[in-house]
Amino acid sequence: MTTFWHKGWVKFPYDPAVAEWVAHALPAARAAVVDPSHAEWMDCEGTWFIGVDALDNDAEGRVGRSGPLQGQALELVTEHYGTLPLHKGQVSVMYPGYPKPRRGESEAAGRYRRNRDAAHVDGLRPMGPDRRRRVDEPHAWILGLPLTEVSADASPMVLWEGSHKVLRAAFEKALHGRPRDTLHEVDVTDIYQSARREVFETCTRLELPASPGETYLLHRHCLHGVAPWSDTASAGPDGRMIAYFRPEFQGGVAEWIESP
């Protein structure tokens, strides 16, 4: 699938097997949203349920009475990265009014969320008082599975096409020559921010709406985010709900930077 390697993303058409999985996952996702143990994940004044590890699936993606997760996207990543155990899926839900201020978020961060879709590369979590970034979670890939039918302007996934090439080059430079077992300790903050600015100037921003039964796959180095909820958007009571899987490489950060 040359499109994926060139553009950093690919969207797959409706697949009955994926739609069948969604039918089982949706009730579990609804339960996750109202589970008191997940209350910390409701943020942005009730307009975003972050939902990390909130879906009750097994390592092959079974949820409820579903079979293992299947489809073209999994076939592609399995061919190139091997079979990786799936973590409990993220249940990301956007509601009308997103984005309202997030708890503890600075005014500048709020502007970035509104104006730049909170664009980021997964796994680079800010740490400490200075919010310095390291590769904390070496994800292999990002798979999105829409669970609800909404209008195209209801906070869709946003990505910058080709950004994975710019960011990969930056991360390679930052990690070059470092001992493989210490790569997770390398501060990539400055080079990441510089590369992100280059992406905004040189890469095309795309919105990626999708419906249940469809899937999309993002390269792990692809800059992506979420668009604000449009004034004209429409959705049901469940909001814009998407399940995400981002399994981590068994070989850590070294595999994260060396794999295709």
Predicted confidence (pLDDT) per residue in 101-126, tens digit: 999 889 999 999 999 999 999 999 88
Strand partners, 84: none
Q: What's the Cα-to-Cα distance from 254 to each of 4, 91, 121, 175, 199, rounded to whole Å? A: 22, 28, 17, 9, 24
pLDDT class for 127, splitting at 50, 70, 90?
confident
Q: What's the Cα-to-Cα distance from 221 to each of 60, 93, 104, 140, 228, rounded to whole Å? A: 24, 23, 27, 9, 22
> What DSSP line would sit under 210-228, residue for residue?
--BTBEEEEETT--EEEPP
Predicted pLDDT of residue 230: 97
Domain assignment present for 165: no
Rounded mean pLDDT, 213-237: 98
Domain assignment present for 163: no
Residue 27, amino acid: P
Domain assignment present for 64: yes
Domain assignment present for 179: no
Does the reported pTM lie above 0.85? yes
Predicted pLDDT of residue 1: 63
CATH number for the domain spanning 48: value is 2.60.120
Domain assignment present for 189: no
Q: How many domains does the chain have?
A: 1
* Euclidean distance between CA atoms 46 and 51, whole angstroms: 13
Domain assignment present for 190: no
**Residue with tokens 């669970």, as numbered in its chain:** 147
Domain assignment present for 36: yes
Domain assignment present for 227: yes
* Euclidean distance between CA atoms 76 and 9, whole angstroms: 12
Domain that holds residue 251: 2-126+136-158+206-258
Using DSSP's 3-state secondary structure scheme, residue 124 falls into coil
* Euclidean distance between CA atoms 52 and 7, whole angstroms: 26
